[in-house]
Structure 1
Amino acid sequence: MPVLFSALLPPDDVVEAISAALGDPGDGLRWEPPERWHITLAYYGPDDVGTRAAWLSARLAGRPAVDVRLEKAATFPGVLWLTVAGSELEPLAHAAGAGAEPRPYRAHLTLARFPREEPGLAARWTRQLAGFTSRRWQAAEVALMTSERDPGGPRYRVARSFGLDHA
């Protein structure tokens, strides 16, 4: 069974703005390529796509589209990420199943990973991206994603998409 999660995918122009803010990131961190950038709503682990899609469709039915904006960088141990502005995302994430995880939900877009014992590697980037703000966009679709192991890192694929209601 594939590993599944639900996510919001940033629009192309937001991906381009992030890439421009990063410039040439160089060495030191393991950078996520732009094609893997996403905002996870909920992680499901190994699951059947059809079963999870039916469950997610029922949970998202009638939910409104949400406004999203990415802002300054922050870190978890070993992870450099962009924060997600706006309070509308949390109810959507919980509807998608985020509350089932043991740790609290924190909306973010992972940019890079680094050894936990070397937090200073990300300090340059939290400073460089301190003033970053993307444009606000309306996320009108939730993607059910598959994650497959690949020698170059995980490969993500949209298995199903679920439209959200426009305001």
Structure 2
Amino acid sequence: MRLFSALRPPADVAAEVAGALGGRDRLLRWSDPAGWHITLAFYGEVDPAEYGAFLDRALDGRKSVDVRLSGSGTFPGVLWLGVAGEDLADLAAAATLGSGEDRPYRPHLTLARCSRTQPPTEWTEQLAGFRSRVWTADRVELMGGGAPYRTLRSWPLRRG
């Protein structure tokens, strides 16, 4: 099973995002809001027990982080909302096993899949000014499965 660790937005923030999206066109493959998350680290096809044990150690004593969804953009084939949070990169580094990825951590919430050659500029423009409320992410989840993703285990973060 493909696994990753993630933070999940609270229900009211997810509802705020859904409201900002309004009517969704059929040109994009929209992510199921039930699976919305902010990936900390991607692990690939691995044993959940092994990565659970790693996260037991890696997240022990870690503090919660204040985050906000803000702005939008695209990667090739992906429409996303940006994520801001002062200690978010440190939390992602802690949740990464080994040397991690070669590219810098860019926290985001995937909204839709799109053409790799024609980014949905009308959506990035519509969502450019989006800013959710700030919330305290106080739980890391080990997630996997298909759409929507499901939580296999979770770890509380201590209040900072």
Structure 2 gap segments, 5+ residues each: none
Match of 1:127 among 104, 120, 125: 125
1:163 matched to 2:156? The reply is yes
Query: Distance in 1 between the 2:76 and 2:86 partners?
Result: 24
CA distance in 2, matches of 1:87, 1:67: 7
- Deviation, structure 1 residue 103: 2.2
Q: How does 1:11-160 map to 2 (within 5 A)?
A: 11-97=10-96, 100-119=100-119, 122-148=120-146, 154-160=147-153
- Distance in 2 of aligned mates of 1:101 and 1:36: 23
Partner AA of 1:166 in structure 2:
R
What's the secondary structure of 2:149's corresponding residue? Answer: strand
In structure 1, stretches of 5+ residues that fail to align are 149-153
Deviations 1:97-156, CA, capped at 9 Å, x for gaps: 07512322100000011111112xx111111111110010000000000123xxxxx341
CA distance in 2, matches of 1:82, 1:13: 16
The CA distance in 2 between the partners of 1:30 and 1:159, in whole Å, is: 25
Q: Tell me the TM-score normalized by structure 2.
A: 0.95
Identity of aligned residues (%): 52
**Structure 1 residues 96-105 or 62-71, which shifts more?**
96-105
Q: How many residues align?
A: 159
Structure 2 SS opposite 1:100 = coil
Q: Secondary structure at the match of 2:90?
A: helix
Q: Which segments of structure 1 move beyond 4 Å, counting only runs of 4 or more?
A: none
Q: RMSD value over aligned CA atoms?
A: 1.2
